[in-house]
Structure 1
């Protein structure tokens, strides 16, 4: 890993003026392509509303205080993200529009008003992040966090790309606010922000977004060099949080969030200075393979830890990673719709600037992937009847970023739908990042995962609660993983879990108990199980998962649980509990088989 001196950075930055982060003509050309039609239609509709309605309402105190009073983030953030949606739509329309002159003037006028309005906001952060500002001895107004850095990056690129087309007072105010709210509190103050040592996506987002804004707006090469040096250190912190095999323990959503900004900054820095982080940081290209390694189907990924099971990755990002690192691509269906990212990030510009249409509608690769450092096993197959089936299991430890207590957790999916599920992250409400939250909240707790409860003890949190890999092997038609989970449980019992997965969609799950007096097996799903003697079935849209167990050993019961997801949307999950009727068997075997749902549609789903 190469580190450059401030003198060398200053020299490189002095030699080259600010440059556009992408070729604007590519954006304009690709915006007219059929694959971008849905995206651009939604953008132009939102821009038209912006022209017709004028400035959006500001974010009032009544919403600002809501989080402190109730712990609810969504009230404030819903309105804030709607304002970013309007900003991005107007800016994109102004960049690509080739309509009548009057229409272009109206869009630019509405955009100027929106830029001015964003500068009127009390904070570019959110109330839930006030603790980060307080820890740094600052107010929320100058809190440097992902949201404020994303806003600074968006505004910097908009005024740079539309140079000469926006009113000078608006541009001057944008530049002043980007400096006052983000660049100065980060680069002119030597005190570190908490995220600079956090080894999560935040380091890449904040370091990358702030760095891109500085590359466009900071005129002093020495000050810029010091800032870029700090951003580079933040990006290295992000990379240090990845496993040595390139895996991201927080899941695909956090990988995408961090890698978006890592890559965008890397390309912006390379365009101006020639510095190539992909060439100098080998782990970056290794981590670029992560989506292809763990994909369970089209836009489907393991929903372990803090990530959802469905995630539409940026085809622009993946195209660029393929070009720069030569990595395999996961299946990509299309450019994501406008609004698929609820934060409405400016990163969507890269989908138009970088996407190679040849990568769209690519087929998923079949076979097994084992990431030994991360402890994830994934397998994708087409069954004999054409149904796409997939299996994923994890080891790791219970002190991971956005941790869930989930050693030995597994997923079974058919046709892209999780039948035995990981329910993913819950709502980001008060205390969700507290180190003890995993025991107090459902989603991150062991009770929300398909893992045993032993002698009344669910798995505990902490780095010392770690799965030891006893054995892992793979053949062309099967995958085997055995984990020792004993360190995750109190009471001294020994617990091992063995997965034997076959390409025909058959999983033999075996739990070994030594010294346990009672045990509970748990199977989680978003589908209500149908129970018969010694049998449970989960019927999905395309597939059915059938579980067979020894009825005389296990007493079944089904719980219906109301939950809310990351965005506060309500839902229902079902927990099948199997409690021991008597002595705990030393070897408990459960057979799970995936098959097509013959009662449903006969169309083949590729997942």
Structure 2
């Protein structure tokens, strides 16, 4: 039974009360219930620091320079500081913290737009930089702000009414005109996925819209539309629970879906019980499948190889428990650390989750082997070494041209790498996307055939993909354009547990010169015919047929701040020419 069918199957009175009484059913108490907040950790608010002020000049940089972060950074700082003040006011009950919270909430209400410049399609249509307040664009930024205001109202309502009467009415007016009304009246937003293309914007925005209507402006019609949207997203998910957007975006895609479903389940008093809907249980396992341990993850597309460890693990913990997935619960607890994960709602729910607060971290073993056939991702682990190899196609969400590429981690740290997400600019999601070096197949662990790299589009894909234990076999020829002149490119990537090695073998037809690329972290230690030792966290040895020579080792400076934070100041690319076959072996470089 689908989510839509489950919702419609509830008695009308249950659905009506789920909307009208939701505030009373969410297990986050009002700040006026002081005993519920006693002893909880309170964030520190710097009352003397000036508030961030996102400026028009920063907004306009997107159109003038292609720079997104100049505005998105200060806008995020304003939201984060407001959320911190709200959280502090709820925990401490201190009037200085409450005044700071009110200041932050009022500043958010006074912003000309909550939309991020890169998404402001309506202004761009008119050739404007200044957004039109009468035609707000509902994007991630607008949804995030509405969600923050909704959760703030949930916990601080009586305190705000006493201290700053009228602020809550202003909050409701702004959320109605900027988010709830556009959500109801505009029904062709691209993130609704009406064309069948689903991505993380769907649950991310729908979840915040749901909180906004339940806590600020109860409207059954809005809740029905949210259920429709979430149902479309859930129905589009692969049966294996895989996420083609990767580990990093999983927290703002499937995890946002789980949070929205939890709100619906709480609001119905547990009667919705969506957790047995396929493939929710499998979706909850994705972070465990792709964890390389030690703070590193298997990354595909725009995913970071070293994601922020302060994720909302409590979300995964509740999800696993609701699905009866003991392995997910144990894994989530094993990662418990400092509170994390963007969003006021996440922080408030974490503080008032007694099962999560009582959970004691303990090691949870990662699976030796994970095969996700729908997204065509194989991850194999042995002591000290791991292999991840993907098939797929080149029209995935946040796509890189990487069909058939692989990652090798030694000691839990990627050595043969996927570079991951660069800092987004005006070209990141346009026809110029593949001008970025990190998105091109030449900067993945793939061949250049007949002078051609892989091309974008669903037609360019791995074929004949077959997992066999610790090995993945695939044909890469269809990932390349016809001018590459390749009829067959057979690749097998396997983890040799007995040797503690990864072996990648390539055979192609016709037997013509090709160039194989290997993107590497760290600095070279030795380099000679048939061998390269490179050190990042530890030495790693790559070996091949010495008759093919030493190949060419290129050093590429990394000046992008996101990539530099992961890989340091430079990466290397080993380029080796071969004619019909090539085999690479990767092992620890320790003697």
Same fold (TM over 0.5): yes
Counterpart among 176, 179, 204 of residue 179 in structure 1: 176
Matches within 5 A, 1:140-539: 141=133, 142-166=136-160, 167-187=164-184, 189-197=185-193, 198-219=197-218, 224-273=219-268, 274-276=270-272, 278-279=274-275, 281-311=277-307, 312=309, 313-327=311-325, 328-329=327-328, 330=331, 335=336, 337=338, 346-354=345-353, 355-358=356-359, 360-382=361-383, 388-435=384-431, 437-438=433-434, 440-474=435-469, 479-490=470-481, 491-493=484-486, 494-503=488-497, 504-530=499-525, 531-539=527-535
Q: Are the aligned partners of 1:559 and 1:575 in contact in 2 as well (CA < 8 Å)? A: yes
- Per-residue displacement from partner, 1:84-131 (whole Å, max 9, x unpaired)? 121111111112126xxxxx1111111111111110111112111112
Instruction: Name the CA distance, whole Å, in 2 between partners of 1:396 and 1:196.
Output: 24
Q: Does 1:19 align with 2:16?
A: no
- Per-residue displacement from partner, 1:142-166 (whole Å, max 9, x unpaired)? 2111121111011111112112100
Q: Does 1:559 align with 2:554?
A: yes
Counterpart position of 1:602: none
- Per-residue displacement from partner, 1:326-385 (whole Å, max 9, x unpaired)? 2223365655657x65x6554233332332543634333241111111111112222xxx
Matches within 5 A, 1:102-117: 104-117=94-107
Q: Are the aligned partners of 2:446 and 2:516 in contact in 1 as well (CA < 8 Å)? A: yes
CA-CA distance at 1:136 after TM superposition:
12
RMSD: 2.9
Alpha carbons of 1:298 and 1:591: their partners in 2 closer, same or farther (altered >3 Å)? closer
Instruction: Name the CA distance, whole Å, in 1 between partners of 2:74 and 2:305.
Output: 26
Alpha carbons of 1:90 and 1:446: their partners in 2 closer, same or farther (altered >3 Å)? same
Alpha carbons of 1:212 and 1:447: their partners in 2 closer, same or farther (altered >3 Å)? same
Instruction: Name the CA distance, whole Å, in 1 between partners of 2:485 and 2:172.
Output: 60
Q: Are the aligned partners of 1:119 and 1:177 in contact in 2 as well (CA < 8 Å)? A: yes
Instruction: Name the CA distance, whole Å, in 1 between partners of 2:464 and 2:177.
Output: 50
Alpha carbons of 1:299 and 1:577: their partners in 2 closer, same or farther (altered >3 Å)? closer
Instruction: Name the CA distance, whole Å, in 2 between partners of 1:235 and 1:377.
Output: 28
Instruction: Name the CA distance, whole Å, in 2 between partners of 1:149 and 1:9.
Output: 30
CA-CA distance at 1:276 after TM superposition:
2.9
Alpha carbons of 1:134 and 1:74: their partners in 2 closer, same or farther (altered >3 Å)? closer
**Equivalent residue pairs, number:** 560
Counterpart among 111, 116, 124 of residue 121 in structure 1: 111
Instruction: Name the CA distance, whole Å, in 1 between partners of 2:460 and 2:89.
Output: 53
Q: Are the aligned partners of 1:366 and 1:381 in contact in 2 as well (CA < 8 Å)? A: no
SS state at 2:230 partner: helix
For normalisation by structure 1, the TM-score amounts to: 0.85
Q: Are the aligned partners of 2:387 and 2:494 in contact in 1 as well (CA < 8 Å)? A: no
More displaced stretch, 158-167 vs 567-576: 567-576
CA-CA distance at 1:241 after TM superposition:
4.3
- Per-residue displacement from partner, 1:392-431 (whole Å, max 9, x unpaired)? 1111111100001111211111233111111111111112
Q: Does 1:546 align with 2:541?
A: yes
Instruction: Name the CA distance, whole Å, in 2 between partners of 1:576 and 1:569.
Output: 16
More displaced stretch, 21-30 vs 412-421: 21-30
Instruction: Name the CA distance, whole Å, in 1 between partners of 2:284 and 2:125.
Output: 33
Alpha carbons of 1:362 and 1:566: their partners in 2 closer, same or farther (altered >3 Å)? farther
CA-CA distance at 1:317 after TM superposition:
0.8
CA-CA distance at 1:172 after TM superposition:
0.8
Q: Are the aligned partners of 2:16 and 2:220 in contact in 1 as well (CA < 8 Å)? A: no
For normalisation by structure 2, the TM-score amounts to: 0.87
Instruction: Name the CA distance, whole Å, in 2 between partners of 1:317 and 1:565.
Output: 31
SS state at 1:163 partner: helix
Instruction: Name the CA distance, whole Å, in 2 between partners of 1:468 and 1:425.
Output: 26
Instruction: Name the CA distance, whole Å, in 1 between partners of 2:66 and 2:177.
Output: 29
CA-CA distance at 1:284 after TM superposition:
1.9
Matches within 5 A, 1:3-152: 3-4=4-5, 11-16=13-18, 17-20=21-24, 21-24=26-29, 40=42, 43-44=43-44, 47=45, 49=46, 51-53=47-49, 56-97=51-92, 104-131=94-121, 139=131, 141=133, 142-152=136-146
Instruction: Name the CA distance, whole Å, in 2 between partners of 1:165 and 1:15.
Output: 26
Unaligned runs of 5+ in 1: 99-103, 383-387, 599-607
Q: Are the aligned partners of 2:83 and 2:101 in contact in 1 as well (CA < 8 Å)? A: no
Alpha carbons of 1:305 and 1:240: their partners in 2 closer, same or farther (altered >3 Å)? farther
SS state at 2:534 partner: strand
Alpha carbons of 1:567 and 1:588: their partners in 2 closer, same or farther (altered >3 Å)? closer
SS state at 1:162 partner: helix
SS state at 1:108 partner: helix
Instruction: Name the CA distance, whole Å, in 2 between partners of 1:12 and 1:563.
Output: 56
SS state at 1:243 partner: coil
Instruction: Name the CA distance, whole Å, in 1 between partners of 2:173 and 2:562.
Output: 33
Alpha carbons of 1:258 and 1:524: their partners in 2 closer, same or farther (altered >3 Å)? same
Alpha carbons of 1:278 and 1:436: their partners in 2 closer, same or farther (altered >3 Å)? farther
CA-CA distance at 1:589 after TM superposition:
1.5
SS state at 1:522 partner: strand
CA-CA distance at 1:561 after TM superposition:
1.7
